[in-house]
Structure 1
Amino acid sequence: MYKACIFDLDGTIADTVESIAYVGNKTLKEFGLPAIPVEDYNFYAGDGADELVRRMLAAVPGGNEVNYEEVRVLYRKWFGENPFYHVKPFEGIVTLLEALKQQGIKIAVFSNKPHEAAVEVVHKIFGEQMFHKIQGQTAQIPRKPSPLGALAIARELGVKPEECLYCGDTNTDMDTGKAAGMFTIGVTWGFRPRTELEEHEADAIVENPEEILEIAKKSRG
Protein backbone atom coordinates (compact mmCIF):
# COMPACT_ATOMS: atom_id res chain seq x y z
CA MET A 1 0.00 0.00 0.00
CA TYR A 2 2.63 2.53 1.02
CA LYS A 3 4.95 3.68 -1.72
CA ALA A 4 6.81 6.54 -0.02
CA CYS A 5 8.06 7.61 3.40
CA ILE A 6 8.60 11.28 4.22
CA PHE A 7 10.80 12.14 7.21
CA ASP A 8 11.19 15.25 9.29
CA LEU A 9 14.89 16.14 9.69
CA ASP A 10 15.82 17.54 13.12
CA GLY A 11 14.94 15.15 15.92
CA THR A 12 13.70 12.43 13.58
CA ILE A 13 16.57 11.25 11.41
CA ALA A 14 19.30 13.64 12.61
CA ASP A 15 20.33 14.29 16.21
CA THR A 16 20.80 18.06 16.06
CA VAL A 17 19.84 19.40 19.48
CA GLU A 18 23.47 20.00 20.55
CA SER A 19 24.07 21.95 17.36
CA ILE A 20 21.00 24.10 17.90
CA ALA A 21 21.81 24.69 21.58
CA TYR A 22 25.43 25.56 20.84
CA VAL A 23 24.51 28.33 18.41
CA GLY A 24 21.53 29.45 20.48
CA ASN A 25 23.56 29.91 23.66
CA LYS A 26 26.41 31.55 21.78
CA THR A 27 23.91 34.06 20.41
CA LEU A 28 22.32 34.70 23.80
CA LYS A 29 25.75 35.35 25.31
CA GLU A 30 26.49 37.93 22.63
CA PHE A 31 23.47 39.92 23.86
CA GLY A 32 24.36 39.51 27.53
CA LEU A 33 21.67 36.90 28.16
CA PRO A 34 22.03 33.65 30.16
CA ALA A 35 22.46 30.26 28.52
CA ILE A 36 19.64 27.73 28.32
CA PRO A 37 20.14 24.03 29.22
CA VAL A 38 20.67 21.88 26.13
CA GLU A 39 17.68 19.67 26.91
CA ASP A 40 15.36 22.69 26.96
CA TYR A 41 16.03 23.24 23.27
CA ASN A 42 14.00 20.10 22.60
CA PHE A 43 10.93 22.25 23.24
CA TYR A 44 12.12 25.31 21.30
CA ALA A 45 13.15 23.59 18.07
CA GLY A 46 10.97 22.05 15.38
CA ASP A 47 9.14 25.05 13.95
CA GLY A 48 11.96 26.86 12.18
CA ALA A 49 14.80 29.13 13.27
CA ASP A 50 12.68 32.28 13.62
CA GLU A 51 10.28 30.62 16.05
CA LEU A 52 13.23 29.06 17.89
CA VAL A 53 14.68 32.52 18.53
CA ARG A 54 11.32 33.80 19.80
CA ARG A 55 11.11 30.88 22.24
CA MET A 56 14.71 31.37 23.38
CA LEU A 57 14.13 35.03 24.17
CA ALA A 58 10.87 34.30 25.98
CA ALA A 59 12.65 31.75 28.17
CA VAL A 60 15.42 33.95 29.61
CA PRO A 61 15.40 37.00 31.90
CA GLY A 62 15.87 40.13 29.82
CA GLY A 63 14.99 38.41 26.58
CA ASN A 64 12.12 40.79 25.96
CA GLU A 65 14.47 43.77 26.21
CA VAL A 66 16.67 42.94 23.22
CA ASN A 67 15.87 43.46 19.55
CA TYR A 68 14.40 40.23 18.17
CA GLU A 69 15.48 40.95 14.61
CA GLU A 70 19.10 41.47 15.61
CA VAL A 71 19.12 38.19 17.54
CA ARG A 72 17.41 36.35 14.67
CA VAL A 73 19.91 37.60 12.10
CA LEU A 74 22.92 36.72 14.25
CA TYR A 75 21.56 33.25 15.08
CA ARG A 76 21.02 32.49 11.40
CA LYS A 77 24.48 33.83 10.52
CA TRP A 78 26.30 31.75 13.11
CA PHE A 79 24.25 28.63 12.45
CA GLY A 80 25.01 28.97 8.75
CA GLU A 81 28.72 29.13 9.53
CA ASN A 82 28.71 25.95 11.65
CA PRO A 83 25.58 23.85 11.01
CA PHE A 84 27.23 20.48 11.73
CA TYR A 85 28.40 20.86 15.34
CA HIS A 86 27.91 17.39 16.93
CA VAL A 87 25.27 16.51 14.31
CA LYS A 88 24.84 12.81 13.56
CA PRO A 89 22.18 10.33 12.42
CA PHE A 90 20.19 8.66 15.15
CA GLU A 91 21.16 5.04 15.74
CA GLY A 92 19.51 2.69 13.26
CA ILE A 93 18.37 5.40 10.85
CA VAL A 94 20.80 4.66 8.03
CA THR A 95 19.93 0.97 8.19
CA LEU A 96 16.22 1.87 8.07
CA LEU A 97 16.63 4.15 5.07
CA GLU A 98 18.55 1.55 3.12
CA ALA A 99 15.98 -1.12 3.98
CA LEU A 100 13.07 1.05 2.84
CA LYS A 101 14.78 1.63 -0.49
CA GLN A 102 15.38 -2.09 -0.85
CA GLN A 103 11.63 -2.56 -0.42
CA GLY A 104 11.07 -0.18 -3.33
CA ILE A 105 9.76 2.61 -1.09
CA LYS A 106 10.79 6.14 -2.05
CA ILE A 107 12.19 8.24 0.80
CA ALA A 108 12.19 12.00 1.27
CA VAL A 109 12.96 14.70 3.83
CA PHE A 110 10.67 17.63 4.65
CA SER A 111 12.21 20.19 7.01
CA ASN A 112 11.37 23.63 8.37
CA LYS A 113 14.96 24.64 7.73
CA PRO A 114 15.51 26.98 4.78
CA HIS A 115 15.72 24.78 1.68
CA GLU A 116 19.44 25.30 0.97
CA ALA A 117 20.35 24.54 4.58
CA ALA A 118 18.19 21.40 4.62
CA VAL A 119 19.86 20.08 1.49
CA GLU A 120 23.32 20.87 2.83
CA VAL A 121 22.72 19.12 6.15
CA VAL A 122 21.16 16.01 4.60
CA HIS A 123 23.93 15.66 2.02
CA LYS A 124 26.60 16.12 4.68
CA ILE A 125 25.13 13.49 7.00
CA PHE A 126 23.65 10.96 4.59
CA GLY A 127 25.35 11.64 1.25
CA GLU A 128 23.85 12.98 -1.94
CA GLN A 129 22.32 9.71 -3.15
CA MET A 130 20.35 8.53 -0.13
CA PHE A 131 17.07 10.42 -0.57
CA HIS A 132 14.84 10.73 -3.61
CA LYS A 133 13.76 14.23 -2.53
CA ILE A 134 14.78 16.87 0.03
CA GLN A 135 12.47 19.80 0.69
CA GLY A 136 13.00 22.73 3.00
CA GLN A 137 11.22 26.04 3.45
CA THR A 138 11.00 28.31 0.38
CA ALA A 139 8.84 31.20 -0.78
CA GLN A 140 6.51 28.64 -2.36
CA ILE A 141 6.68 26.02 0.41
CA PRO A 142 5.62 27.49 3.78
CA ARG A 143 6.64 26.15 7.16
CA LYS A 144 4.99 23.11 8.63
CA PRO A 145 2.28 22.46 9.81
CA SER A 146 1.21 23.60 6.34
CA PRO A 147 0.84 20.38 4.33
CA LEU A 148 1.84 22.01 1.04
CA GLY A 149 5.43 20.77 1.19
CA ALA A 150 4.43 17.20 1.98
CA LEU A 151 1.87 17.22 -0.82
CA ALA A 152 4.42 18.67 -3.26
CA ILE A 153 6.85 15.88 -2.37
CA ALA A 154 4.17 13.24 -2.98
CA ARG A 155 3.39 14.71 -6.40
CA GLU A 156 7.05 14.80 -7.36
CA LEU A 157 7.52 11.19 -6.26
CA GLY A 158 4.46 10.18 -8.23
CA VAL A 159 2.46 8.83 -5.26
CA LYS A 160 -0.87 9.66 -3.66
CA PRO A 161 -0.94 11.16 -0.15
CA GLU A 162 -2.65 8.05 1.21
CA GLU A 163 0.27 5.99 -0.12
CA CYS A 164 2.73 7.91 2.07
CA LEU A 165 4.04 7.39 5.58
CA TYR A 166 4.92 10.63 7.34
CA CYS A 167 7.44 10.35 10.20
CA GLY A 168 8.26 13.04 12.75
CA ASP A 169 8.92 13.78 16.40
CA THR A 170 6.71 16.79 17.21
CA ASN A 171 3.11 17.98 17.26
CA THR A 172 3.91 20.05 14.19
CA ASP A 173 4.88 16.92 12.27
CA MET A 174 1.76 15.03 13.29
CA ASP A 175 -0.43 17.98 12.31
CA THR A 176 1.39 18.26 8.97
CA GLY A 177 0.98 14.60 8.08
CA LYS A 178 -2.67 14.59 9.15
CA ALA A 179 -3.44 17.69 7.08
CA ALA A 180 -1.77 16.05 4.06
CA GLY A 181 -3.86 12.89 4.41
CA MET A 182 -0.85 10.68 5.16
CA PHE A 183 -0.32 7.93 7.74
CA THR A 184 1.54 9.60 10.59
CA ILE A 185 4.26 7.92 12.63
CA GLY A 186 5.54 9.63 15.76
CA VAL A 187 9.07 8.79 16.89
CA THR A 188 9.97 8.93 20.59
CA TRP A 189 13.73 9.52 20.29
CA GLY A 190 13.42 13.15 19.14
CA PHE A 191 12.59 16.55 20.60
CA ARG A 192 9.23 15.89 22.26
CA PRO A 193 7.61 13.42 24.71
CA ARG A 194 5.30 10.59 23.70
CA THR A 195 2.31 12.39 25.23
CA GLU A 196 2.60 15.18 22.66
CA LEU A 197 2.47 12.68 19.82
CA GLU A 198 -0.55 10.98 21.41
CA GLU A 199 -2.38 14.27 21.89
CA HIS A 200 -1.90 15.07 18.21
CA GLU A 201 -3.28 11.70 17.20
CA ALA A 202 -0.28 10.01 15.63
CA ASP A 203 -1.51 6.95 13.75
CA ALA A 204 1.42 4.99 15.19
CA ILE A 205 4.16 5.74 17.73
CA VAL A 206 7.48 3.90 17.53
CA GLU A 207 10.36 3.44 19.96
CA ASN A 208 13.01 2.49 17.39
CA PRO A 209 13.57 2.85 13.63
CA GLU A 210 13.04 -0.85 12.91
CA GLU A 211 9.36 -0.45 13.75
CA ILE A 212 8.91 1.95 10.84
CA LEU A 213 10.11 -0.71 8.44
CA GLU A 214 7.70 -3.22 9.96
CA ILE A 215 4.80 -0.82 9.50
CA ALA A 216 5.77 -0.27 5.89
CA LYS A 217 6.04 -4.02 5.22
CA LYS A 218 2.70 -4.82 6.84
CA SER A 219 0.94 -2.00 5.07
CA ARG A 220 2.21 -3.24 1.74
CA GLY A 221 0.46 -6.54 2.41
Structure 2
Amino acid sequence: MYQCCIFDLDGTIINTIHSLAYSISLTMEHFGYGPIDEDHTKKFVGDGFKKLVERALIYSGDDNLSHYEEALAFYEDTFEKNCLYKVEPYEGMKELLTFLKGKGIKIGVLTNKGHERAVECVEAVYGKGFFDLITGEGNGVKTKPDPSGAFMTAEYLHAKPSECLYFGDTNTDMRTGINAGMDTAAVTWGFRDRSELEAFHPRYIINHPSEIKYVFE
Protein backbone atom coordinates (compact mmCIF):
# COMPACT_ATOMS: atom_id res chain seq x y z
CA MET A 1 0.00 0.00 0.00
CA TYR A 2 1.28 3.44 -0.89
CA GLN A 3 1.99 5.78 2.00
CA CYS A 4 2.92 8.79 -0.09
CA CYS A 5 1.98 10.35 -3.44
CA ILE A 6 4.40 12.74 -5.15
CA PHE A 7 3.06 14.97 -7.90
CA ASP A 8 4.68 16.94 -10.68
CA LEU A 9 3.26 20.47 -10.89
CA ASP A 10 2.97 21.83 -14.46
CA GLY A 11 0.62 19.70 -16.53
CA THR A 12 -0.18 17.38 -13.63
CA ILE A 13 -1.89 19.19 -10.74
CA ILE A 14 -2.16 22.67 -12.29
CA ASN A 15 -2.69 23.83 -15.86
CA THR A 16 0.04 26.44 -16.16
CA ILE A 17 0.45 26.47 -19.93
CA HIS A 18 -1.03 29.96 -20.31
CA SER A 19 1.46 31.51 -17.88
CA LEU A 20 4.40 29.64 -19.38
CA ALA A 21 3.54 30.46 -23.00
CA TYR A 22 2.77 34.08 -22.12
CA SER A 23 6.06 34.56 -20.29
CA ILE A 24 8.29 32.86 -22.86
CA SER A 25 6.54 34.75 -25.66
CA LEU A 26 7.18 38.09 -23.97
CA THR A 27 10.79 37.04 -23.58
CA MET A 28 11.23 36.08 -27.22
CA GLU A 29 9.46 39.25 -28.39
CA HIS A 30 11.85 41.34 -26.28
CA PHE A 31 14.70 40.02 -28.39
CA GLY A 32 12.90 40.56 -31.68
CA TYR A 33 11.47 37.09 -32.20
CA GLY A 34 7.89 35.97 -32.63
CA PRO A 35 5.69 34.51 -29.88
CA ILE A 36 5.83 30.85 -28.86
CA ASP A 37 2.45 29.17 -29.16
CA GLU A 38 1.12 26.88 -26.46
CA ASP A 39 1.67 23.68 -28.44
CA HIS A 40 5.39 24.40 -28.77
CA THR A 41 5.60 25.58 -25.17
CA LYS A 42 4.26 22.20 -24.06
CA LYS A 43 7.19 20.55 -25.85
CA PHE A 44 9.78 22.97 -24.50
CA VAL A 45 8.88 22.80 -20.79
CA GLY A 46 9.51 20.04 -18.27
CA ASP A 47 13.26 20.31 -17.72
CA GLY A 48 13.50 23.66 -15.92
CA PHE A 49 13.30 27.24 -17.14
CA LYS A 50 16.87 27.29 -18.50
CA LYS A 51 16.03 24.53 -20.96
CA LEU A 52 12.76 26.27 -21.84
CA VAL A 53 14.62 29.46 -22.74
CA GLU A 54 17.29 27.53 -24.64
CA ARG A 55 14.76 25.58 -26.68
CA ALA A 56 12.67 28.68 -27.40
CA LEU A 57 15.73 30.63 -28.61
CA ILE A 58 16.86 27.83 -30.92
CA TYR A 59 13.32 27.44 -32.26
CA SER A 60 13.23 31.19 -32.88
CA GLY A 61 16.47 31.10 -34.87
CA ASP A 62 19.11 31.94 -32.29
CA ASP A 63 21.10 28.77 -32.96
CA ASN A 64 24.22 30.14 -31.27
CA LEU A 65 22.22 31.18 -28.18
CA SER A 66 23.71 34.65 -28.41
CA HIS A 67 20.88 36.05 -26.26
CA TYR A 68 20.85 33.16 -23.77
CA GLU A 69 22.14 34.82 -20.61
CA GLU A 70 20.11 37.98 -21.17
CA ALA A 71 17.03 35.94 -22.01
CA LEU A 72 17.35 33.89 -18.82
CA ALA A 73 17.35 37.04 -16.71
CA PHE A 74 14.49 38.57 -18.68
CA TYR A 75 12.40 35.41 -18.44
CA GLU A 76 12.94 35.06 -14.70
CA ASP A 77 11.77 38.61 -14.13
CA THR A 78 8.84 38.23 -16.52
CA PHE A 79 7.71 34.92 -15.07
CA GLU A 80 7.90 36.24 -11.53
CA LYS A 81 5.32 38.84 -12.53
CA ASN A 82 3.13 36.45 -14.53
CA CYS A 83 3.45 33.00 -12.96
CA LEU A 84 -0.21 33.05 -11.87
CA TYR A 85 -1.54 34.15 -15.27
CA LYS A 86 -4.67 32.06 -15.94
CA VAL A 87 -3.48 29.12 -13.80
CA GLU A 88 -6.15 26.65 -12.71
CA PRO A 89 -6.38 23.15 -11.24
CA TYR A 90 -7.22 20.26 -13.53
CA GLU A 91 -10.74 18.92 -13.26
CA GLY A 92 -11.02 16.39 -10.46
CA MET A 93 -7.53 16.96 -9.07
CA LYS A 94 -8.52 18.75 -5.89
CA GLU A 95 -11.08 16.03 -5.21
CA LEU A 96 -8.40 13.35 -5.64
CA LEU A 97 -5.96 15.16 -3.37
CA THR A 98 -8.63 15.65 -0.70
CA PHE A 99 -9.51 11.97 -0.99
CA LEU A 100 -5.87 10.96 -0.49
CA LYS A 101 -5.50 13.22 2.53
CA GLY A 102 -8.63 11.65 3.99
CA LYS A 103 -6.98 8.24 3.60
CA GLY A 104 -3.94 9.43 5.53
CA ILE A 105 -1.72 9.48 2.44
CA LYS A 106 1.02 12.10 2.50
CA ILE A 107 1.09 14.32 -0.61
CA GLY A 108 4.03 16.26 -1.97
CA VAL A 109 4.92 18.31 -5.04
CA LEU A 110 8.24 17.87 -6.86
CA THR A 111 8.79 20.15 -9.83
CA ASN A 112 11.50 21.61 -12.03
CA LYS A 113 9.82 25.00 -11.68
CA GLY A 114 11.86 27.35 -9.51
CA HIS A 115 11.09 26.78 -5.84
CA GLU A 116 9.67 30.23 -5.00
CA ARG A 117 7.40 30.26 -8.04
CA ALA A 118 6.34 26.67 -7.34
CA VAL A 119 5.26 27.52 -3.80
CA GLU A 120 3.48 30.66 -5.00
CA CYS A 121 1.63 28.79 -7.73
CA VAL A 122 0.59 25.80 -5.64
CA GLU A 123 -0.54 27.89 -2.69
CA ALA A 124 -2.51 30.24 -4.96
CA VAL A 125 -4.49 27.31 -6.37
CA TYR A 126 -4.71 24.91 -3.42
CA GLY A 127 -4.08 27.09 -0.40
CA LYS A 128 -1.24 27.32 2.08
CA GLY A 129 -0.45 24.06 3.88
CA PHE A 130 -2.61 21.86 1.65
CA PHE A 131 0.40 19.81 0.54
CA ASP A 132 2.74 18.25 3.06
CA LEU A 133 5.78 19.39 1.07
CA ILE A 134 6.48 21.51 -2.02
CA THR A 135 9.92 21.23 -3.62
CA GLY A 136 11.07 23.18 -6.66
CA GLU A 137 14.36 23.73 -8.42
CA GLY A 138 17.00 25.49 -6.34
CA ASN A 139 18.42 25.27 -2.83
CA GLY A 140 20.65 22.39 -3.89
CA VAL A 141 17.83 20.26 -5.33
CA LYS A 142 18.86 18.85 -8.70
CA THR A 143 16.43 18.97 -11.58
CA LYS A 144 14.46 15.91 -12.53
CA PRO A 145 14.99 13.23 -13.77
CA ASP A 146 17.71 13.17 -11.13
CA PRO A 147 16.03 11.17 -8.33
CA SER A 148 17.52 13.11 -5.40
CA GLY A 149 14.45 15.34 -5.04
CA ALA A 150 12.18 12.30 -5.03
CA PHE A 151 14.34 10.59 -2.41
CA MET A 152 14.34 13.74 -0.28
CA THR A 153 10.56 14.05 -0.54
CA ALA A 154 10.03 10.43 0.44
CA GLU A 155 12.36 10.73 3.42
CA TYR A 156 10.72 13.95 4.59
CA LEU A 157 7.30 12.30 4.39
CA HIS A 158 8.55 9.18 6.22
CA ALA A 159 8.05 6.81 3.30
CA LYS A 160 10.30 4.37 1.49
CA PRO A 161 10.59 4.84 -2.28
CA SER A 162 8.68 1.57 -2.73
CA GLU A 163 5.81 3.10 -0.75
CA CYS A 164 5.56 6.15 -3.04
CA LEU A 165 3.52 6.67 -6.20
CA TYR A 166 4.89 9.35 -8.50
CA PHE A 167 2.50 11.25 -10.81
CA GLY A 168 3.58 13.14 -13.91
CA ASP A 169 2.79 14.07 -17.50
CA THR A 170 6.17 13.92 -19.29
CA ASN A 171 9.04 11.58 -20.05
CA THR A 172 11.06 13.51 -17.46
CA ASP A 173 8.55 12.51 -14.79
CA MET A 174 8.49 8.89 -15.84
CA ARG A 175 12.29 8.75 -15.75
CA THR A 176 12.28 10.41 -12.33
CA GLY A 177 10.03 7.73 -10.91
CA ILE A 178 12.08 4.95 -12.49
CA ASN A 179 15.35 6.44 -11.25
CA ALA A 180 13.92 6.68 -7.73
CA GLY A 181 12.55 3.14 -7.71
CA MET A 182 8.99 4.42 -7.40
CA ASP A 183 5.86 3.27 -9.18
CA THR A 184 4.66 5.85 -11.67
CA ALA A 185 1.22 7.12 -12.64
CA ALA A 186 1.20 8.78 -16.05
CA VAL A 187 -1.48 11.43 -16.55
CA THR A 188 -2.76 12.08 -20.06
CA TRP A 189 -4.35 15.50 -19.47
CA GLY A 190 -1.00 17.32 -19.33
CA PHE A 191 1.53 18.64 -21.79
CA ARG A 192 2.64 15.49 -23.63
CA ASP A 193 0.88 12.76 -25.55
CA ARG A 194 0.08 9.25 -24.37
CA SER A 195 2.66 7.55 -26.57
CA GLU A 196 5.51 9.42 -24.88
CA LEU A 197 4.31 8.17 -21.51
CA GLU A 198 3.58 4.60 -22.61
CA ALA A 199 7.19 4.20 -23.74
CA PHE A 200 8.23 4.15 -20.08
CA HIS A 201 5.72 1.48 -19.04
CA PRO A 202 4.17 3.32 -16.08
CA ARG A 203 2.31 1.25 -13.48
CA TYR A 204 -0.84 3.28 -14.18
CA ILE A 205 -2.03 5.49 -17.03
CA ILE A 206 -5.00 7.68 -16.14
CA ASN A 207 -7.18 10.03 -18.16
CA HIS A 208 -8.87 11.65 -15.13
CA PRO A 209 -7.76 11.97 -11.49
CA SER A 210 -10.72 9.90 -10.25
CA GLU A 211 -9.43 6.84 -12.12
CA ILE A 212 -6.69 6.20 -9.55
CA LYS A 213 -8.88 6.22 -6.45
CA TYR A 214 -9.54 2.48 -6.56
CA VAL A 215 -5.89 1.83 -5.74
CA PHE A 216 -6.36 3.40 -2.31
CA GLU A 217 -9.78 1.97 -1.44
Band of TM-score, shorter chain: over 0.9
SS of 1:95's equivalent in the other structure is: helix
Partners of 1:150 and 1:195 lie apart in 2 by: 24
Which whole-Å CA distance do the structure 1 matches of 2:215 and 2:32 have between them? 48
The residue number in structure 1 matching 2:106 is 106
Pair 1:116–1:55, CA change in 2 (3 A): same
Aligned-partner residue type, residue 71 of structure 1: A
Aligned letter for 2:127? G
In structure 1, the gaps of 5 or more residues are none
Deviates more, 1:15-24 or 1:114-123: 114-123
Amino acid of the residue matched to residue 142 of structure 1?
K
For 1:115-126, what aligned pairs fall within 5 Å after superposition? 115-126=115-126
SS in 1 for 2:46: coil
**Cα offset for 1:201?**
2.2
Q: Partners of 2:157 and 2:14 in 1: how far apart?
A: 22
Taking the aligned partners of 1:216 and 1:86, their CA distance within structure 2 comes to 32
Asked if the contact 2:54/2:65 (under 8 Å) is kept, the reply is no
- How far did 1:130 drift? 1.1
Residue 24 of structure 2 corresponds to 24
Q: How does 1:189-204 map to 2 (within 5 A)?
A: 189-204=189-204
Q: Which amino acid aligns with 2:104?
A: G
Report the equivalent of 1:85: 85
TM-score calculated relative to the size of structure 1? 0.95
- Secondary structure of 1:109's partner? strand
Question: Over aligned residue pairs, what C-alpha RMSD do you find?
Answer: 1.2
Other-structure match for 1:132? 132
Structure 2: stretches of 5+ with no match in the other structure: none
Letter in 2 for 1:13: I
| Cα shift readout 1:101-143 (whole Å, capped 9, x = no counterpart) | 1111110000111212211111111101210111111242100
1:144–1:62 distance in 2 versus 1, CA, 3 Å: closer
Query: Per-residue deviation at 1:212?
Result: 2.1
Note the C-alpha offset of 1:5: 0.3
Residues 159-210 of structure 1 show CA distances to partners (whole Å, capped at 9, x for unaligned) of: 1110000000000000001111111010000010000101122221111001
Q: Which residue of 2 aligns with 1:49?
A: 49
State the 1:65 CA deviation.
Answer: 6.0
Q: How many residue pairs were aligned?
A: 217
Work out the percentage of aligned pairs sharing the same amino acid: 46
Instruction: Please report the TM-score for the alignment, with normalisation by the length of structure 2.
Output: 0.96
Structure 1 outlier segments of 4+, above 4 Å: none
Q: CA deviation at 1:75?
A: 0.5
Flag the 1:143–1:65 CA change in 2: closer, same or farther, 3 A: closer
Query: Aligned letter for 1:106?
Result: K
